[in-house]
Amino acid sequence: MVVLRWKMAEIHQARFAIIGGSSTNSIDFPGEAGYDGVEIIKRRAIFDTPYGKSPAFTLFSLKGKTVLTCRMHGWRAGVTRANASRQLFWVLREAGVERILGEGGVGAIDPKLELRDIVVPDDYIDLSMRRDVSLDSQYLLVMRDALCREERAALLEAARAHSVGRVIERGVYVVTDGRHFESPAEVRMLRSLGGDIIGQSLAPEVYLAREIGACYGSIQIIVNYAEGVVEEWSHEELASIFYGEAGMMSRILLEALDSLPAEKSCPCVSLRKPSLLKEKAD
């Protein structure tokens, strides 16, 4: 296998990024999505970052839009999840990315949800222990409208066109660390806090996107019920969704990306403010 290593200055400029999670993991995204207009420019591009070597990126174009994508799901040997996220967002910032779409498979806390429903979250609760993850920039990050309303609208429209399950317009995504699932008592607590779905990836991505001044939207497919909700989860069903729905999720992401307007009309960038705090000189 040939691994391309680009120096910092050679990172291709791209305004768009898709962060791959578990819902597209079983196919070679975006090539195997079967979406018209996708042209692969570079594959297996790994960059040196201040936080170690980045994950492998694919650079592609979609009808005039240049897009970086990589797989972030899973745990890379020898790399903390905090550093994996820093590596990713450092590259996206250097590339000049302004719009990011993320995806994944999540557990349902809300018993009204069904397997294969698609949720486009509009808010989150971060209960992970990775809160210090940043690129050390001096910004105050306002987390109102954390999930970009323009990207959410594009994801919803594409999901309605392609989803095999229902499309849920909003939901609160609870972020936990994993890799173990939650206990029934923890799930009851998360429901009482207002959570609808549980996963491990929305944070720190949502903070880091704001830190680099990019919009962030996310689409999630229900792959199991959280412990104590409706029925015990089945590994067979999980595998069937993992392998069976990756093409559909890929097409939703690409169609949403395709439909995003060139000019933004959302407030995301204005929600990143300069910090008023200064470091004290010795």
Interface residues with Zn ion (CB under 5 A) are 148, 215, 266, 268
Nearest-approach distance from CB 96 to Zn ion, in angstroms: 16
SS3 65: strand
Q: Which amino acid is at 182?
A: E
SS3 227: coil
Nearest-approach distance from CB 46 to Zn ion, in angstroms: 29
In this structure, what are the phi and psi dihedrals at residue 197, rounded to the nearest 5 degrees? -140, 155
**Per-residue buried b or exposed e for 199-219, using 16+ beta carbons within 10 Å of the residue's own CB:** bbbbbbbbbbbbbbbbbbbbb
CA 206 to chain centre: 8
Nearest-approach distance from CB 263 to Zn ion, in angstroms: 11
Nearer CB in complex with Zn ion: 33/154: 154
Nearer CB in complex with Zn ion: 108/148: 148
Which position has the token pair 């486009």? 120
Nearer CB in complex with Zn ion: 38/203: 203
Nearest-approach distance from CB 224 to Zn ion, in angstroms: 30
Nearer CB in complex with Zn ion: 153/238: 153
DSSP-assigned states of every residue in 23-44? TSTTS-TTGGG--TTEEEEEEE
The helix (run of H) or strand (run of E) holding residue 243 is helix 235-244
Nearer CB in complex with Zn ion: 12/149: 149
Greatest Cα-to-Cα distance within the chain, rounded to the nearest angstrom? 61
66 contacts 39 by C-beta, under 8 angstroms: no
In this structure, what are the phi and psi dihedrals at residue 17, rounded to the nearest 5 degrees? -145, 145
Nearest-approach distance from CB 206 to Zn ion, in angstroms: 12
Nearest-approach distance from CB 87 to Zn ion, in angstroms: 23
The helix (run of H) or strand (run of E) holding residue 106 is strand 99-108
Nearest-approach distance from CB 245 to Zn ion, in angstroms: 26
Nearer CB in complex with Zn ion: 43/272: 272
Per the rule left: phi > 0, alpha: psi between -120 and 50, beta: everything else, 72 is alpha
Nearest-approach distance from CB 3 to Zn ion, in angstroms: 34
> Pick from 143, 101, 102: which is nearest to 123 by CA?
143
Nearer CB in complex with Zn ion: 148/175: 148
Nearer CB in complex with Zn ion: 238/266: 266
Helices (H) and strands (E) in the chain, counts: 6, 15
